[in-house]
Amino acid sequence: MPDIVLTDPRSSATATILSEAGFNCHSLRIPHAGRVYEILDSEPAFGQSGSIPARSGIPLLFPFPNRIRGSAFVTRDKTWQLTQTRVDVNGHAIHGHVHDRQWRVTRHESHAVVADFHLRRDAPELSGEWPSDYQIEITYQLVNKVLRCDITIHNPDEVPLPWGFGTHTYFKIPLGPGGCTGDILIQAPVGELWELDQNLPTGRRLPLPEDLPLPEGLALAGQKLDQVFGGLRGRDRITTLILDPAEGVEVIQTLSPAFRELVVFTPPHGRSVCLEPYTCVTDAANLQQRGYDSGWQELPPGQETRLWFEITLGPILC
């Protein structure tokens, strides 16, 4: 599988993307203070095989992030069964349609690449499982040591498009050989915690517990996390941090205000931490139907919406 490699015109930073496996950016190498840091974690053979994209790099989750309970939801008085979408061990549809499929590259320059996924054209077998057609376009560009992703979601259909978007980024920890996973700190401006039952929100929102102080900084020592946080805050942008004190550097993830939930997951292998921004909560379609404010949205026919995120590396500033 041929990789697409982006090169920052102003530094030696590179980003590597595999269009055949979800347009997944699975390597981001950024120079700092005489060293080059790999920011993302991927399975060792992912670049060659593209296997199990949900475990490597930056999986793109659309038209829903995380899970839909029982692989079914109701919209406009009709039940939609997701019979051909990937499911977890409990039979819940997981990670949407696009994270493990081939995207069509429409433009490629040395520092930027654009790709597109159109449901009825690129996965017609799934079009009968979603209430409307959709088109999603991703633009990755690498400039000034910043990887920027611009997302455009378009509804080409004659009926509303229900949707949610998220990423499942695997951030490498520690960032250098002198670091220790337990010393890593994570920060995020969240305001609440969704109560979960078997990884699915009940609809109840809880105050942040004292042992999960994400806004102030949470040390990963001894943590086994798979939590859904809500109330992401930011005036015109939202910032999450991963700090590696031994290296004196931090990974900065900046988000557009369209993101409102954050899943924090520590994979069992211990090589990475996932800070996953979502525009809606897990199982948002069903929670919205039950009367909860889940962030589930509908895009009118012929309309489009845009959001973005950025990832970079810099010195710890505090």
Encode pLDDT of 254-288 as tens digits: 999 999 999 999 999 999 999 999 999 999 999 99
Which pLDDT belongs to residue 178?
76
What whole-number distance in Å separates Cα of residue 199 and Cα of residue 204? 13
Three-class SS state of 30: strand
Window from 16-25, 179-188, 189-198 with minimum mean pLDDT: 179-188
Q: Is the pLDDT of residue 51 over 90?
A: no
Q: Is the pLDDT of residue 201 over 90?
A: yes
Q: Is the pLDDT of residue 1 over 70?
A: no
Strand order in the sheet with 135-143: 104-108, 112-118, 135-143, 146-154, 304-315, 249-255, 238-244, 185-187, 218-219
Encode pLDDT of 120-163 as tens digits: 999 999 999 999 999 999 999 999 999 999 999 999 999 999 99
Which pLDDT belongs to residue 49?
81
Q: Examine residue 63 and say whether the peptide bond preceding it is cis (omega within 30 degrees of 0).
A: yes
Q: Is the pLDDT of residue 2 over 90?
A: no
Region 212-227: mean pLDDT is 95
The mean pLDDT of the chain is 95
Which pLDDT belongs to residue 44?
87
Q: Are 230 and 197 in contact (CB under 8 A)?
A: no
Encode pLDDT of 70-93 as tens digits: 999 999 889 999 999 999 999 999
Q: Which domains does the chain have, with CATH numbers?
A: 4-315 (2.70.98.10)
Q: Are 171 and 272 in contact (CB under 8 A)?
A: yes
**pTM (predicted TM-score):** 0.97
Which pLDDT belongs to residue 143?
97
Which pLDDT belongs to residue 123?
96
Residue 211's pLDDT band, with cuts at 50, 70 and 90, is very high
Window from 178-182, 234-238, 275-279 with minimum mean pLDDT: 178-182
